[in-house]
Amino acid sequence: MPVTAITEARIALDAAGQLPEAEIDLATVALQLARIDSPKADWRAGAALLSEIAREAVSRAAANPAADAGDGEARRQVLAALIHGQFGFQGDTQSYDDMANANLIEVLARRKGLPVALGLLWLHAAEAAGWEAHGVDFPGHFILALQDKTGPVVVDVFHGGKRLEAQDLRALVKRMEGAKAELRPGMMVAMGKRAMLLRLQNNIKLRRLQRHDVEGALACVEDMKRLAPGNALLWREAGLMNQRLERIGAALTQLEHALVLAPQAEGHLRIRELVDELRHRLN
- 202 lies in some domain: no
pLDDT digits (tens, 9 = 90+) for 6-49: 899 999 999 999 999 999 999 999 999 999 998 888 999 999 99
pLDDT confidence of residue 97 = 93
- 221 lies in some domain: no
pLDDT confidence of residue 274 = 95
pLDDT confidence of residue 138 = 86
Q: Do 22 and 121 belong together in one domain?
A: yes
Q: Do 178 and 274 belong together in one domain?
A: no
Q: Of 46-50, 165-169, 270-274, where does mean pLDDT reach its minimum?
A: 165-169
Q: Which residue spans within 150-197 are E strands per DSSP?
A: 153-156, 162-164, 190-191
Q: Do 136 and 275 belong together in one domain?
A: no
Average pLDDT over residues 215-224: 98
- 70 lies in some domain: yes
Q: Do 254 and 160 belong together in one domain?
A: no
**Is 80 exceeded by the pLDDT of residue 65?**
yes
Q: How confident is the model at residue 184 (pLDDT cuts 50, 70, 90)?
A: confident
DSSP 265: S
Q: Do 173 and 240 belong together in one domain?
A: no
Q: Which residues pair with 57 in a beta bridge?
A: none
Q: Do 124 and 245 belong together in one domain?
A: no
pTM of the model: 0.93
- 206 lies in some domain: no
Q: Do 159 and 251 belong together in one domain?
A: no
Could you tell me what percent of the chain has a pLDDT over 90? 83
Q: Which residue spans within 23-182 are E strands per DSSP?
A: 90-91, 112-113, 133-138, 141-146, 153-156, 162-164
- 219 lies in some domain: no
Q: How confident is the model at residue 77 (pLDDT cuts 50, 70, 90)?
A: very high
pLDDT confidence of residue 167 = 92
pLDDT digits (tens, 9 = 90+) for 108-153: 999 999 999 999 999 999 999 999 999 998 887 899 999 888 889 9
- 157 lies in some domain: yes
Q: Which of the pair, 256 or 187, is modelled with greater confidence?
A: 256
Q: Do 57 and 116 belong together in one domain?
A: yes
- Classify burial at 116, counting beta carbons within 10 Å of its beta carbon; exposed 0-12, middle 13-18, buried 19 or more: buried
Please give the mean pLDDT across all residues of the chain: 94
Q: How confident is the model at residue 215 (pLDDT cuts 50, 70, 90)?
A: very high
Q: Do 47 and 147 belong together in one domain?
A: yes
- Helix (H/G/I), strand (E/B), else coil: 129: helix
How far, in Å, are 91, 112, 271 from residue 96 at the CA level? Answer: 8, 10, 34
Q: Which residues contact 249 (CB under 8 A, 6 or more apart)?
A: 282
**Pairing of β 90-91 and β 162-164:** unpaired
Distance in angstroms (rounded) separating the CA atoms of residues 67 and 267: 48
**Is 80 exceeded by the pLDDT of residue 4?**
no
**Pairing of β 112-113 and β 90-91:** parallel
Distance in angstroms (rounded) separating the CA atoms of residues 143 and 133: 11
Range of 163's domain?
Answer: 3-191
